Structure 1
């Protein structure tokens, strides 16, 4: 019997599989599709943006260089100068409802607890690239992947879960549904899925135009909707505010796509050929809880929303990073009470916030007499330092804070990339998915206390380039600060917090 079965070999399922396998958990991934590639995953239709937060996540697992290289990105452009003392000004551009953010307007001083790091910016990639890199990592860690195996039945008892896929029953102690917005696991396990119904049908297509000069590149908001052209030849996106009625209801013919495009763009542009097309909507739905017994949800299986702003992939990666170490600790029997339930309590509010961010963009883009005034108001606010900084903080994935019940402003945030004088960085210490205790004192005041969690917490000591006024920091395996002390001698406080997140010490 496996420790964990994961339904879905997309980026979220594969990253979660790697997180579990790092701890020695026995993991099986069941994937519905027979082949790992498809036109929807490859460029241009599979074009996706990784936020700076996702880049940081991959950096902390030693995957950033491979991910950037496979994406055709110079890894040096993602990070700060290796010798930088202060973090660079943000360069990562985002948008709200197609309105671009001016990165030069962002007030860097208002971004808390930033230190120079090899992962300061997001970058463009594709679903195929992310999936390929993560599948290679999962395979290297011993994860078994079964393709052509859609989950058709789920049952659970006090001892474990049974998932039927491809006519075969697979048993495990835990099952995680990472099988997308139309998740079979979510439905079969009885999760509710609630939210708001769609306002538009969206389209993404690879086409050949007779007269592409009629369609400017970029986001183009019109009185009838929106269309998007990227530099990739023939790459087309559209939003038609039909209440989502067309999505998956009829074949995506050339005539239909051309009719919608002409109505939206207001020209007589002609499509010669449609090579591939798919539709989607802006339904914004979320499971009220991400756990029912021994079944959990992550990624689009737990929440769906429109792709506006490019938050979906990144939200799912964040789910997997948060869940992986908690589920692994549960599998190996050293999880403290309530640890696994903290996955829902921490990630559900993040998902709800992203859904609202998506809804707000749709409201600003919906055609109507009031829409131009609303967009102008948002544009004016985004042009101010406060407005631009708020948008960046919301979309970069770097500045969310979990409420961990502590007053120190760093606790609950992603840890800064502290750099020791010998050049070792915090990110270098996190590749194996362990917690990290950083002790900046000269007498190694926490070393003895940290030994009680050997194998679960990695201890590192010595002076760092910038300690941000701290003497010691305890960091969870997902990179979140669990404790920040101004005095490294606070061993009792350290031990109490360590037990809260890592379970009872060995001695």
Structure 2
């Protein structure tokens, strides 16, 4: 019989969010147990083409800073190269809003002056199965325990600990994080609300054999009754504006039903010979008003759901994990004030709200009705302008994400630029240990002396960089977010206040 163990953190859910959070916690020397209800991580919906996912700039940067990006093989074959401002641009589609494309040649890359030449890509494509495999491998290497086939069925928390029941076994931890998806049992058992808006459509994703694919147009097609997207002549995405009734009915997707929906939306008599794999989804948008209840926290789809339009969901969840991991670890190690964990809510909840509204806005211009078509035409005109295309790209790629940390400097609350030192090293390569950093570009001896007493918590890194962007000193959190900057002579008192605020030391 297995010896009972008390864990620092129990995570419900071994999807990308739960796995990435576990990696962050284990990197900070926390003991972590993941309980996953599925017996196996493998599913046809996680493989191509169903498992294709776009990851935006903040996610790419997070994976890069932990040395995980190079372990993803699939993105090397299909990734878009990073477009630098000084390079000649070519006209290629690099994203969309509600199916309306925007193109690289229309974007003003100079509006993002902190994206240095060494920056990672603004977007990449990956496969869900591969991403989970890479994250699970890293988690296990760091000492995380993963138990599959263990669905959480009950829990009970006290002031000191939380007890979780799964597969009629009892597990004890200091904290529990629900990363168990849109139907999160942790959210329900933990007493969280989940408020928002109901769906406008049922979405279908299916792999089929079409008898007469020439009757359909390749690509995305908006019609008077919905939308269909055909790629590779066998991969279909449909949007049927039925207020989510078929999805909510939980009826099986039969060949006859899917063919009927496809014919009605496409206005053709196309025939499906075979239906191989299919799933449904909706644009239901809900969010928990709080991400924490005592010793229980939520992240990913357990905290917020919305339509997959624009591929924001995975990025939002991984952003939650990156933000929460170091804060929860610091709380466990007693090296943080109570307000640090509260900042998970104040920083991530507004980001979630914006993504939900972004999803709702896309649905509003895709509906098969005159008002939506008129609005769609206006959006298309805006996206053809340089400022319009740049705005939409910034939102879709996550380049406009910035936390309000009470400082007007544009770098504070943003991800750290990937500065290149004169010896060729990049800042992002120095963050794999998960520690905070003080970057001193002026090699100030007095700062070096001051930081010596914080060396257990903050790495002091000094040296000249090729472009320091007018900044002399930067305090960077473990998640890569800039917490404090000095443009010229650093105010030591202000630096120490920032250190105290974020690290309670």
- In the other structure, the counterpart of 2:44 is 39
Selected match of 1:22 from 8, 15, 27: 27
Contact kept, 8 Å, 2:74 with 2:127, in 1: the verdict is no
**Matched residue, 2:268:** 267
Contact residue 472 and residue 486 of structure 1 kept, 8 A: yes
The answer to whether residue 209 in structure 2 is matched with residue 208 in structure 1 is yes
Q: For residues 108-147 of structure 1, what are the alpha-carbon distances to aligned partners after superposition, in whole Å with 9 as ceiling and x for unaligned? A: 2222422122512312112111111111111111111000
Moved >4 Å (runs of 4+): 77-80, 84-92
Query: What are the ranges of 5 or more consecutive residues in structure 2 without an aligned counterpart?
Result: 1-5
Q: Does 1:158 align with 2:159?
A: yes
Output the CA distance in 1 between the equivalents of 2:336 and 2:86.
37
* Uncovered stretches (5+) of structure 1, i.e. residues with no partner: none
Residues 398, 2 of structure 1: CA spacing in aligned structure 2 closer, same or farther, 3 A cutoff?
A: same
CA distance in 1 between counterparts of 2:228 and 2:70 reads 34
* Matched pairs, number: 498
Kindly state the Cα deviation for residue 186 of structure 1 after the two structures are TM-superposed.
Answer: 0.4
Alpha-carbon separation, structure 2, partners of 1:458 and 1:389: 36
Partner deviation per Cα, 1:166-198 (whole Å, 9 max, x = no partner): 111111000000000111100010100000000
Mapped contact 1:205–1:276 kept (Cα < 8 A): yes
* Counterparts of 1:78 and 1:320, CA distance in 2: 26
CA distance in 1, matches of 2:185, 2:93: 36
Matches within 5 A, 1:272-421: 272-421=273-422
Deviations 1:405-446 (A, max 9, x none): 112221111111111111111101111111111001144342
Deviation at 1:488, TM superposition (A): 4.8
Pairing 1:7–2:48 present: no
Report the counterpart of residue 457 of structure 1 in structure 2.
458
Cα distance in 2 for residues equivalent to 1:22 and 1:437: 19
Whole-Å separation in 1 of the counterparts to 2:452 and 2:230? 56
Q: Equivalents in 2 of 1:92, 1:434: separation in Å? A: 37
Aligned 8 A contact 1:6 1:175 in 2: yes
Secondary structure (helix, strand or coil) at the match of 1:459 reads strand
SS at match of 2:245: coil
SS at match of 2:339: coil
Deviations 1:145-166 (A, max 9, x none): 0001111112100011111111
Distance 1:87 1:424, change over 3 A: farther
Structure 1 counterpart SS, 2:317: helix
Asked if the contact 1:200–1:282 (Cα under 8 Å) also holds between the matched residues in 2, the reply is yes
TM-score, normalized by length of structure 1?
0.95
Give the structure 1 partner of residue 3 of structure 2: none
Distance in structure 1 (CA, Å) of the matches to 2:87 and 2:347: 28
Give the secondary structure class of the aligned counterpart of 2:341: coil
Deviation at 1:92, TM superposition (A): 7.8
Task: Check whether the contact 1:59–1:118 (CA below 8 A) recurs between aligned residues.
Answer: no
- Kindly indicate whether the alpha-carbon contact (under 8 Å) linking 2:85 and 2:109 is maintained by their aligned counterparts in 1: no
The secondary structure found in structure 2 opposite 1:339 is helix
- The CA deviation at 1:298 is 0.4
Q: What is the Cα deviation at residue 73 of structure 1?
A: 2.8
**Residue 55 of structure 1: CA displacement?**
1.0
Q: For the Cα contact (< 8 Å) 1:201–1:280, is it kept in 2?
A: yes
In structure 2, the residue matched to 1:424 is 425
Tell me which residue corresponds to 1:243: 243
SS in 1 for 2:320: helix
Distance 1:88 1:331 in 2: 49
Alignment RMSD: 1.8
Q: How far apart are the structure 1 equivalents of 2:447 and 2:494?
A: 11
Three-state SS of the structure 2 residue aligned to 1:316 is helix
